[in-house]
Structure 1
Amino acid sequence: MKTLLDHRNSVSDTAVDYETAISKAGQGKFQFGVLGACGLFYVACAFQTFCISYLLPSAECDLRMTSSDKGILNSSPFIGTLVGACIWGKLADSWGRRSVILTALAIDAVAAILSSLMQTFWPFVFFRLVTGLTNLAALAVCYPYLGELHSSKYRSRALCWVEMFWALGTLLIPLVAWAIIPRPWLLGSAEIGFRYNSWRVFIAAAAIPSILSVACIYFFPESPAFLLTKGRHDEALQVFRRIYHWNTGKPHNSYPVKRLEMNNSLEGDGGWNGSGEVRKESQSIASRLMDTISQMGDLFRPPLLKNTMIGLSSLFSLQLGYFGFGMWFPELFNRFEEFQMAHPNETASVCEVANMEVATPQWVLALGNGTNATTMMDCSDDTIQPQVFINTFSIGSTSIIFAFLTGAFVERIGRKRVIVTAMTLTACCGAGSYFVRSASQNLALSCFLQAFNAASFSTLMSVIIELFPATLRGLATTMVMHMSYVGPIVGNLLFGLLLDVNCAIPVFFSAGIIAGCAVLCLFLPNNKNAVIS
């Protein structure tokens, strides 16, 4: 007959599943800490994505950029993202989520600092492409890392809260840019062929959130879910004990779980065989590749074809609008301010201002006078107007307010209704920007454009994950999200090539694409009360 002590020991030695283990570890200081650390990653990503927008007017002379060159520069992080997304996704399953995040952010910080040293256009573009390949491409790894360190009760809330750090980043960027770029700082000179001025200091400063995120995430453990997929039972259990200690303050050895269930069907480079050993690969690399290709094909065949195309088209259009319009706002605001300084009593549309030369750039005149293209010129007068920073800060503030209101009322209104309405209003604001006649009108319309765009994007993402079965959900959402990054590339190249030629074309093209996808979203299933399969 078992004693009460024997009964307790047998219960405590029973293997528990992952959700039970993470629930027993508690919810508290550890989760808030890892949320903040991952949030810094989002801030870093926002900085590296949008910092280019604030240096375009100041760096135009230094790097001798035409509008098409600016479009290439704005697109470079997203081109890097398309290349890096698959790399980091695979490495996250091989190296671990934490290891990938630390590696990507470290490379990103180094590349950002090196880019600030570049004196010519194409080397600068290369290092900005590297920041996209590392920072923006690896951001998706934060979702499984953060989610796996929360119990199911708090997981969705944590993944929603971390998105607020992106908005925080977009608010901080203009403040940091305003504090640095207008300063008359200069190290070096045109005579020695090296110049390190204020906009370069800003680019280097934009790497600080990446460095801070590395420092914070370094002190957090690897995801225990990843460790279990590799058969590292004892290490995973130690992580749970550490989480328990952080949350409760009790000793590690008082954590009530002593053994964890191992999933014999886990896939990866290896798995647990049930006897304490890591089993060898059961599939060749070629077989895995064929399986992945087959699953990708399922997304583009009925019955999933409609969902895939609606999701991809809608995200493409919203990315095109958010980054296509959004990354050109500082440049357009700057042109408006310079025009109104030169013509204080006149009004003009965005396109008229964009096509109007207020003053021929100094570097263009120098080249026209026979200055060698490799000769460094004095660009000390090339700067950005202070009002630009106030305008972009206003846009970020409006987006945060709309994000809060969307989250508060989306279920009452209905997600499909919010998506279609917000996308339609985004298209109207985009087309309406062609008709505004002042900087203040342009600012008001820009605030609403980005706010409606962000509201429709976040709501659409909450629907997309429900459009696919569980066996394909991870692959589907990753594919749709990263394929949609073609939108920012198209938008920025289109604006860069046509802004000085015929501004109406990129404006109405982008607005038309978003309006067309709003109609497509009418065919989304009405899944207000849907249960994820």
Structure 2
Amino acid sequence: MSEANLSALADDDRDYVDAKEETPIKQINDALRACEFGRFNIQLLLTTLTGFIAGVAVSNTTSYLLPSAECDLNMSLLQKGFLNAAPYSGMLFSSIVAGFLTDTFGRKIFIHTGYGGIFIFTVIGGSSQNYEVLVTAKFFEGMLFAASFSACVTYTAEFCHNGIRDRVLMVQSSFIGVAQVVIALLSWGILKQEWTYSLFNGYFVLNTWNFYILIMSLWSLSGFLLYLFLPESPKYLVMQKRYSEARKILIRIYKTNTGNPAEMYPFKDIWKNQSKVGNKTNAIPEKKSALSHQIVEGLHNIKPMFHKPLVMYLAMICTMNFITMALYNVVRLWFPQVSTVVEHYTSTRNEDLCVMLDAYAKDEKLKVYNVTTEECIPNKSGDETYTNSLIIGCVCLLSMIVSSILVNKVGKKVLIISAGVICCCSTLGIRFANSKTIVVVLFALDTSVSQAIMALNQAIIVETFPTTTRTLGVSMIMMVGRIGTLVGNVTFPILLNMSCEIPFYTMFGFMICVLILAFFLPTKKKN
């Protein structure tokens, strides 16, 4: 479950408190319930699916193009690591700030700016002729992704009343797994081709991987266009005291979902006695007041996080998320490259993965230091790599379904400990894997189980932290996790150059730390 999903779930607590009095937030929940679930919600979910695929493509596409583009861009192992990490370094610059500004200026402006910007920089990356342009484009894609993705998920949640919100968010969470499968299928269909287009006497050349990135940019363009047909979040408008606009949107949703005229809507006159608050005369002072109030209140809400026991829980979960997210994204983003190495490795002996990776690392060193005079011929991913990527995507989707079923029965803490044991065993097992099947099984286990641990970490933050510090707590563990991704993808090729055993033993050792910390996590108290 993503950061924005959990932030949206926090609204349930506010709705519960507001139920004691008929505040606008409580009223909008009842008004959305009267709108029912219908065509508008389906349109919203389909649009969100497009946005999710565009967002996941920001980080996933780099892992697929590495084997195809390594010769064209003359990339070393370390440069491949930097390319994988570039989107996450961009996310660090915008995630928390964008989350704060989204609450102040609205969801749609960040969604449009984000997806529109992703499209522009993806086109720049797809047109790139050198490594520097591509890695810079990926950095800005990541920065815009962090600004739009959280707004996108929160936006969806705010169109749902608390009776269907959890189910809609679960469906929305599954879009990540769907996006991984879709991207793997598209990568398979495009990167297997041999496309070359030359302009200006060979000065500007588009290869298969260039066309691949350009085609993938259509997802962000589609997301940008589809969100144009949707209105601003009514809950945000109510929070900004723009009641007249919110009422019109609720009536529109009711008419779209039910097919009934506006006169039949039970809440057609909602907030009419408060409409003057949102007129043009008062709009500017209200926004200024809201902005200054949010800054002061936000700073005030930070204080409890640095007192016991919250500061101890935050430190533990940040450490766990740093390690887990680093492992998850190293294994996930490097799998297409590792699978390609295994596919092209020729030997009559039954050798383990580390023998293959050490041989590949040695060849890469020879290319960098120009010891070999052979022409660089890329080892492109074969059918096996894309088939295995599809398997991993499906296993990740399955793990989220299984964990969501088990979490209420066994509890988050027990589930994290169990998942930690599986993750430790599979990480250590990768080093000794001596067949393609075992490699795929262990990579799938590592990816799916570590993804479940990250979701459970975020769920514990939501459960443990009070509403006033919950969103900030989730933002902090996600920011630390992204730093882990950045560090992991940069250090993995460095350690791999030393010896294959080192990165896998290192990841195993750090996952042992996660397992130990899991025993000290708080347990939910029964009422």
Pairwise same-fold verdict (TM > 0.5):
yes
Q: Flag structure 1 segments of 5+ consecutive residues without an equivalent.
A: 1-13, 265-270, 371-376
Cα distance change on mapping 1:248 and 1:207 into 2, 3 Å: same
User: 1:190-229, aligned counterparts within 5 Å?
Assistant: 192-229=202-239
What is the match of residue 415 of structure 1? 412
Q: 1:392: Cα distance to partner? A: 1.1
Shift of 1:275: 12
Match of 2:518, as an amino acid? C
Computing the radius of gyration from Cα coordinates, the structure with the larger value is 1
Instruction: Note the C-alpha offset of 1:181.
Output: 0.8
Matched, 1:316 2:313: no
Pairing partner for 1:507 from 504, 507, 520: 504
In the superposition, relative to structure 1, how do residues 503 and 90 fare at CA in structure 2: closer, same or farther (>3 Å)? same
Q: How does 1:343-362 map to 2 (within 5 A)?
A: 343=347, 345-357=348-360, 360=363
Give 1:526's aligned residue: 523
What is aligned with 1:268? Answer: none
Instruction: Compare 320-329 and 227-236 and name the one that shifted more.
Output: 227-236
Going by fraction, where is helix more abundant, 1 or 2? 2
Cα deviation, residue 386, structure 1: 2.6
| Closer, same or farther: CA 369–456 of 1 in aligned 2, 3 Å | closer
Match of 1:438 in 2: 435
Asked if 1:338 is matched to 2:344, the reply is yes
Q: Is the 8 A contact 1:81 1:134 kept in 2?
A: yes
Q: What's the CA shift for 1:438? A: 2.2
Q: 1:241 aligns with which of 243, 248, 251?
A: 251
Decide whether the 8 Å contact of 2:158 with 2:234 is kept in 1.
Answer: yes
1:61-460 matches, cutoff 5 A? 61-188=71-198, 192-260=202-270, 272=277, 277-278=282-283, 279-280=285-286, 289=295, 292-339=298-345, 342-343=346-347, 345-357=348-360, 360=363, 364=367, 382-460=379-457
Shift of 1:78: 0.3
Q: Which amino acid aligns with 1:410?
A: V
Deviation, 1:362, is 12
CA contact (8 A) 1:61 1:362 kept: no
Q: CA deviation at 1:86?
A: 3.1
The Cα of 1:379 is off from its aligned counterpart by 6.1
Q: CA deviation at 1:20?
A: 1.7
Q: Which amino acid aligns with 1:84?
A: S
Q: Which amino acid aligns with 1:24?
A: A
The alignment of Structure 1 onto Structure 2 pairs a total of residues equal to: 502
Matches within 5 A, 1:472-511: 472-511=469-508
> Quick check: 33-42 or 64-73, which moved more?
33-42
What is the rounded CA distance, in whole Å, between the counterparts of 1:55 and 1:284 in structure 2? 45
Q: 1:208: Cα distance to partner?
A: 2.1
1:261 to partner: Cα distance: 5.1
8 Å CA contact 1:118–1:124 kept in 2: the answer is yes
**Matched residue type, 2:403:** T
Greater mean deviation of Cα atoms: 194-203 or 241-250? 194-203
User: Residues of 2 paired with 1:82 and 1:417: CA distance?
Assistant: 31
Report the residue type matching 2:145 in the other structure.
N
Query: Letter of the aligned partner of 2:367 in structure 1?
Result: V
Displacement after TM superposition at 1:384 (Å): 2.3
**Retained in 1: the 8 A contact 2:104–2:290?**
no
TM-score, normalised via structure 1 length: 0.87
Aligned mates of 1:302, 1:309 — CA distance in 2 = 11
Q: Which deviates more, 236-245 or 516-525?
A: 516-525
SS at match of 2:206: strand
Q: Is the 8 A contact 1:42 1:163 kept in 2?
A: no
Deviation at 1:429, TM superposition (A): 0.8
Give the 3 Å change call, closer, same or farther, for CA 46–273 of structure 1 in structure 2. closer
Query: What is the SS of the residue equivalent to 1:74?
Result: helix
Aligned to 2:30: 20
Quick check: 208-217 or 125-134, which moved more? 208-217
More deviation, 463-472/475-484: 475-484
Q: Which amino acid aligns with 1:355?
A: D
Cα deviation, 1:370-410, whole Å, max 9, x if unaligned, reads 9xxxxxx9867552233211111111122222222222232
What percent of counterpart residues are identical? 25
The separation in 1 between residues aligned to 2:44 and 2:27, in whole angstroms, is: 22
Query: 1:420/1:112 Cα in 2 relative to 1: closer, same or farther (>3 Å)?
Result: same
* Contact residue 321 and residue 511 of structure 1 kept, 8 A: no
How far apart, CA to CA, are the structure 1 residues paired with 2:512 and 2:368?
42
User: Using the alignment, how far apart are the partners of 1:473 and 1:144 within structure 2?
Assistant: 14
- Give, in whole Å, the separation in 2 of the partners of 1:53 and 1:140: 23
Q: Shift of the alpha carbon at 1:132? A: 0.5
Report the CA distance shift for 1:500/1:385 in structure 2 as closer, same or farther (over 3 A).
Answer: farther
3-state SS of 1:221 partner? coil
* Alpha-carbon displacement from aligned partner over 1:122-172 (angstroms, at most 9, x marks no partner): 111000111101124421112321111000111122112101110011111
Q: Secondary structure of 2:498's partner? A: coil
1:413 CA displacement: 2.3
Range that drifts further, 221-230 or 290-299:
290-299
Q: Which runs of 5+ in 2 are unaligned?
A: 1-22
Residue 51 (structure 2) pairs with residue 41 (structure 1): yes
- In the superposition, relative to structure 1, how do residues 366 and 423 fare at CA in structure 2: closer, same or farther (>3 Å)? closer
Judged with a 3 Å threshold, the aligned counterparts in structure 2 of structure 1 residues 56 and 263 are, in CA distance, closer, same or farther, namely farther
| TM-aligned CA distance change 1:275 to 1:117, over 3 Å | closer
Report the Cα distance in structure 2 between the residues aligned to 1:508 and 1:527, rounded to whole angstroms: 34
Could you say what the CA RMSD is over the residues aligned between the two structures, in angstroms?
3.0
Cα–Cα, structure 1 residues 107 and 425, in superposed 2: closer, same or farther, change >3 Å? same
Task: Give the Cα separation in 2 of the matches to 1:176 and 1:403.
Answer: 23
Residues of 2 paired with 1:361 and 1:481: CA distance? 33
